[in-house]
């Protein structure tokens, strides 16, 4: 697959005046020529031109989603255009359209598309400016709504904000929703009453005073930007800002926060906001220099229930540690390097989710990071079918694209497993940095990351992506072990949770708990569904634990046996309110012990029945060890409460 690193420096110049406003034109064609990337568009005519600049100029209030204004779009024709098409919600009324300052007499607006028929076809290579004036009440009042208005009842603030991902930029501005066509630059000018502030991307170039106690907040960015990362947020804001200078950055840059102007808001949130500086230092060290250091990073608060990584200025509901880390990591993965198609949303969400783990690991504790990964695995186990890669038939299904189990948690776990397979953090971080450098200001696919990984590691990870990225499910292991006079014998068999990927090639650590109290581990490479492992061992082994550090997304049952035909089974696994145990050897006096991963006993039962049910509704979601003792025999299985 071809890789394109955007290096064009655009130039804005005066084209011609219309209504005392300047039109913009840019030089150079930059659309990313990525082959074999599916592009899902409402009309193929959207692919006939390349967008260079968005100029959004709107009147907005904080109590509704009514907007009025214009979008100016600078484009260049990739081939002759007989009909020029842009996307704009049918909820908007188009007032007029101009091309290069001349009013367009013929256009139509339907099915969320504006179709313009120029008097003379626009020839290939021509640069021109289109300006669309419109008004209306935008958004759909749902989770996927390009523009929303909400009331934060706790702080007593109305907020109008945008969240365009993945297909809803058209709810508030005229656009081309194609990921492979980033604009070279953008302006977002928002006019409000003077009691409000409007936050957005880039730098605040100025605030103009207008008649009627109105202000125009003029935000401008000169970095390439994907359509869905343009934003605005309008409310009664105060500004809390200062400069930060990560060690990796050439210079300091503005850290700008638009927070509610309630007197106690900053007092209650200041420490959490300030923690962003430590995260910025960490991610700059791991991923490379903050991509947008010549402008800023910041936050706008809005009662949106989540966060959205708008380029240089995240919109979020609060300053929770994981949320802030996730959205900040997006500035590298999602904003600087953007997924080339929604099928490769892993480039955005898997990497940003792993940013949460890294922030916990380095800035909190390894224990908290490992607990995060444990919960991530538990979430993955709820989806035993399905791949991280979005299949073609689901490419426009927003709930599938943003699957918590697959795109976010399994996506993060996939990176964690790559880190484990590399067994070299410096090499792992070098891969992340190189990926950022090679695709800066551009777009990439999962395959692109695979090529970088192969290049930096000097190894082929094609097999890994075949099973973990494009494949479905996760491995399920069954281990039987016993000791002879001089050896430890482990018999392992594996199946996939999904028939689509029946076997996972993987490395796996096996933890050995010895009678003398010492612990050790061995690493086993699984290259076949069944495997017999024989380890010279003179010490008595008390227990065997599969994947003790939880590197791999797997479900494992470990059975210690002295008699080769004795075993038990548990179901369901993962379990919720009940755990059922079936003994193949029938009735016998048994002690059944359930412990957490720290060895604390959470349940102990004595039974002689062949089937036992444990009531587990009071247990927290976590990994547990189930041990069954019968006479001199001990059997152990790893079980998961979800």
Instruction: For residue 172, name the pLDDT band (cuts at 50, 70, 90).
Output: very high
Q: Are 300 and 313 in contact (CB under 8 A)?
A: yes
Going by C-alpha positions, the residue among 430, 426, 469 that lies closest to residue 453 is 430
Q: Which two tokens stand for residue 7?
A: 């290096």
Q: How many residues make up the chain in this entry?
A: 642
pLDDT at 622: 87
Alpha-carbon gap, residue 357 to 370, rounded angstroms: 8
Give 414-444 pLDDT, tens digit per residue. 999 999 999 999 999 999 999 999 999 999 9
pLDDT at 515: 84
Alpha-carbon gap, residue 332 to 383, rounded angstroms: 28
Taking CA atoms, 608 is separated from 558, 583, 591, 628, 629, in Å, by 21, 10, 9, 12, 11
pLDDT at 182: 98
Alpha-carbon gap, residue 328 to 351, rounded angstroms: 11
Give 9-59 pLDDT, tens digit per residue. 222 332 333 333 333 333 333 344 444 555 678 899 999 999 999 999 999
Give 122-171 pLDDT, tens digit per residue. 999 999 999 999 999 998 777 789 999 999 999 999 999 999 999 999 99
Phi, psi of 72, rounded to the nearest 5 degrees: -100, 130
Alpha-carbon gap, residue 520 to 81, rounded angstroms: 68
Q: Specify the higher pLDDT residue, 587 or 521.
A: 521
pLDDT at 39: 61
Alpha-carbon gap, residue 250 to 244, rounded angstroms: 11
pLDDT at 15: 31
Give 374-415 pLDDT, tens digit per residue. 999 999 999 999 999 999 999 999 999 999 999 999 999 999
pLDDT at 38: 55
Which helix (DSSP H) or strand (DSSP E) does residue 413 occupy? helix 411-422
Going by C-alpha positions, the residue among 582, 555, 546 that lies closest to residue 641 is 555
Longest distance between any two alpha carbons in the chain, whole Å: 93
> Is the pLDDT score of 601 beyond 90?
yes
Other CB atoms within 10 Å distance of the CB of residue 599: 8
> Is the pLDDT score of 292 beyond 70?
yes
Going by C-alpha positions, the residue among 212, 232, 58 that lies closest to residue 135 is 58
> Is the pLDDT score of 494 beyond 60?
yes
Give 336-351 pLDDT, tens digit per residue. 999 999 999 999 999 9
> Is the pLDDT score of 517 beyond 80?
no
* Least confident segment among 122-126, 406-410, 531-535, 559-563: 559-563
- CATH architecture of structural domain 565-642: Sandwich (2.60)
Alpha-carbon gap, residue 181 to 228, rounded angstroms: 11
Read off the pLDDT of each residue in 599-628 and give the average, rounded to a whole number.
89
Alpha-carbon gap, residue 531 to 521, rounded angstroms: 17
> Is the pLDDT score of 493 beyond 70?
yes
Residue 73, strand partner residues = 54, 130
CATH dotted code for 474-560: 2.60.40.1840
> Is the pLDDT score of 256 beyond 80?
yes
Q: Between the CA atoms of 592, 596, 597 and 600, what dihedral angle is there, to the nearest 10 degrees?
A: -90
Look over the chain and give the mean of its residue pLDDT values, rounded to a whole number: 90
pLDDT at 563: 35
pLDDT at 567: 55
Alpha-carbon gap, residue 544 to 481, rounded angstroms: 8
Q: Which two tokens stand for residue 408?
A: 């976010």
Q: Which two tokens stand for residue 418?
A: 């790559």
Which helix (DSSP H) or strand (DSSP E) does residue 210 occupy? strand 203-210
Which helix (DSSP H) or strand (DSSP E) does residue 444 occupy? strand 442-444
Please tell me the class of the 348-468 domain.
mainly alpha
Tokens 């600049």 label which residue?
A: 53
pLDDT at 37: 58
Q: 13-235 and 348-468 share one CATH topology? A: no
Above pLDDT 90, what percent of the chain? 76
β-pair type (185-193, 506-514) = unpaired
pLDDT at 140: 78
Taking CA atoms, 208 is separated from 204, 211, 220, 236, in Å, by 11, 10, 14, 18
Q: What is the DSSP letter of 26?
A: -
Alpha-carbon gap, residue 188 to 196, rounded angstroms: 16
pLDDT at 29: 32
pLDDT at 561: 60
pLDDT at 17: 32
pLDDT at 465: 98
Give 202-223 pLDDT, tens digit per residue. 999 999 999 999 999 999 999 9
Say which residues have a Cβ less than 8 Å from residue 458's Cβ, sequence separation at least 6: none
Radius of gyration of the chain (CA): 28
Other CB atoms within 10 Å distance of the CB of residue 429: 18
> 206's torsion region: left (phi>0), alpha (psi -120 to 50) or beta?
left
> Is the pLDDT score of 186 beyond 80?
yes
Give the three-class secondary structure for 212: coil
Q: Between the CA atoms of 436, 441, 444 and 450, what dihedral angle is there, to the nearest 10 degrees?
A: -20
Tokens 């792992």 label which residue?
A: 428
pLDDT at 287: 98
Give the three-class secondary structure for 128: strand
Give 469-485 pLDDT, tens digit per residue. 999 999 999 998 888 77
Give 87-117 pLDDT, tens digit per residue. 999 999 999 999 999 999 999 999 999 999 9
Other CB atoms within 10 Å distance of the CB of residue 608: 12
Other CB atoms within 10 Å distance of the CB of residue 514: 14
pLDDT at 36: 54
Domain ranges of the chain: 13-235, 348-468, 474-560, 565-642
Give 302-343 pLDDT, tens digit per residue. 999 899 999 999 999 999 999 999 999 999 999 999 999 999
Q: Between the CA atoms of 403, 404, 410 and 413, what dihedral angle is there, to the nearest 10 degrees?
A: 150
* Least confident segment among 152-161, 262-271, 598-607: 598-607
Q: Specify the higher pLDDT residue, 253 or 567.
A: 253
Alpha-carbon gap, residue 162 to 211, rounded angstroms: 26
Taking CA atoms, 527 is separated from 32, 505, 506, 555, 626, in Å, by 39, 5, 7, 17, 28
pLDDT at 565: 33
Read off the pLDDT of each residue in 436-464 and give the average, rounded to a whole number.
98
The topology under which CATH files domain 13-235 is Immunoglobulin-like (2.60.40)
Taking CA atoms, 31 is separated from 38, 390, 490, 551, in Å, by 15, 23, 55, 39
Alpha-carbon gap, residue 261 to 236, rounded angstroms: 6
Give the three-class secondary structure for 350: helix
């Amino acid at each position: 697959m071809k890789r394109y690193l955007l290096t064009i420096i655009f130039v804005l110049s005066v084209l011609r005046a219309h209504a005392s406003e300047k039109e913009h034109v840019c030089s150079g064609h930059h659309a990313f020529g990525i082959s074999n990337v599916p592009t899902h568009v409402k009309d193929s005519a959207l692919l006939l031109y390349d967008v260079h600049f968005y100029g959004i100029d709107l009147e907005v209030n904080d109590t509704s989603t009514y907007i009025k204004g214009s979008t100016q779009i600078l484009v260049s024709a990739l081939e002759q255009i007989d009909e020029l098409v842009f996307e704009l919600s049918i909820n908007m009324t188009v007032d007029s359209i101009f091309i290069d300052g001349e009013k367009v007499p013929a256009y139509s607006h339907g099915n969320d598309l504006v179709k313009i028929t120029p008097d003379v076809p626009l020839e290939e290579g021509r640069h021109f400016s289109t300006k669309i004036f419109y008004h209306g009440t935008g958004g759909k009042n749902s989770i996927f709504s390009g523009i929303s208005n909400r009331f934060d009842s706790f702080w007593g603030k109305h907020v109008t904000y945008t969240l365009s991902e993945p297909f809803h930029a058209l709810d508030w501005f005229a656009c081309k929703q194609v990921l492979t066509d980033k604009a070279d630059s953008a302006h977002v000018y928002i006019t409000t009453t003077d009691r409000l502030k409007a936050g957005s991307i880039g730098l605040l170039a100025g605030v103009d005073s207008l008649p009627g106690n109105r202000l125009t907040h003029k935000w401008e960015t000169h970095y390439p930007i994907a359509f869905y990362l343009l934003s605005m947020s309008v409310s009664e804001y105060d500004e809390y800002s200062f400069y930060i200078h990560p060690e990796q950055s050439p210079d300091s840059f503005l850290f700008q926060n638009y927070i509610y102007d309630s007197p106690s808001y900053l007092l209650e949130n200041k420490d959490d906001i300030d923690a962003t500086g430590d995260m910025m230092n960490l991610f700059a060290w791991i991923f490379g220099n903050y991509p947008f250091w010549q402008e800023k990073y910041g936050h706008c608060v809005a009662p949106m229930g989540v966060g959205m990584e708008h380029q240089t200025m995240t919109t979020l509901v609060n300053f929770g540690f994981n949320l802030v880390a996730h959205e900040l990591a997006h500035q590298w993965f999602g904003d600087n390097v953007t997924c080339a198609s929604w099928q490769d949303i892993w480039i955005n969400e898997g990497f940003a989710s792993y940013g949460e783990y890294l922030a916990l690991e380095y800035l909190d504790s390894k224990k908290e990071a490992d607990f995060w990964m444990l919960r991530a695995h538990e979430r993955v186990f709820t989806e035993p079918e399905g791949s991280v890669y979005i299949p073609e038939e689901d490419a426009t299904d927003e709930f599938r694209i943003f699957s918590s189990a697959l795109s976010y948690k399994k996506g993060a776990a996939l990176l964690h497993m790559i880190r484990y397979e590399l067994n070299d953090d410096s090499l792992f971080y070098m891969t992340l940095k190189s990926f950022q450098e090679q695709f800066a200001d551009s777009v990439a696919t999962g395959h692109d990351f695979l090529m970088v990984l192969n290049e930096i590691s000097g190894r082929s990870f094609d097999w890994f992506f075949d099973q973990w990225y494009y494949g479905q499910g996760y491995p399920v292991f069954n281990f039987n072990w016993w000791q002879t006079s001089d050896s430890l014998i482990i018999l392992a068999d594996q199946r996939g949770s999904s028939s689509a990927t029946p076997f996972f090639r993987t490395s796996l650590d096996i933890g050995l708990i010895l009678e003398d109290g010492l612990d050790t581990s061995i690493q086993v490479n699984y290259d076949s569904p069944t495997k017999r492992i024989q380890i010279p061992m003179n010490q008595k082994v008390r227990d065997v634990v599969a994947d003790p550090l939880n590197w791999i997304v797997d479900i494992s049952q470990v059975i210690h046996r002295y008699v080769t035909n004795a075993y038990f089974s548990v179901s369901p696994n993962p379990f919720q309110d009940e755990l059922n145990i079936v003994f193949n050897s029938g009735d016998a006096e048994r002690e059944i012990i359930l412990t957490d991963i720290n060895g604390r006993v959470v349940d102990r039962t004595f039974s002689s029945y062949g089937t036992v049910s444990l009531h587990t509704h009071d247990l927290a979601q976590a990994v547990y060890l189930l041990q069954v003792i019968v006479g001199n025999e001990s059997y152990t299985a790893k079980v998961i409460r979800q």
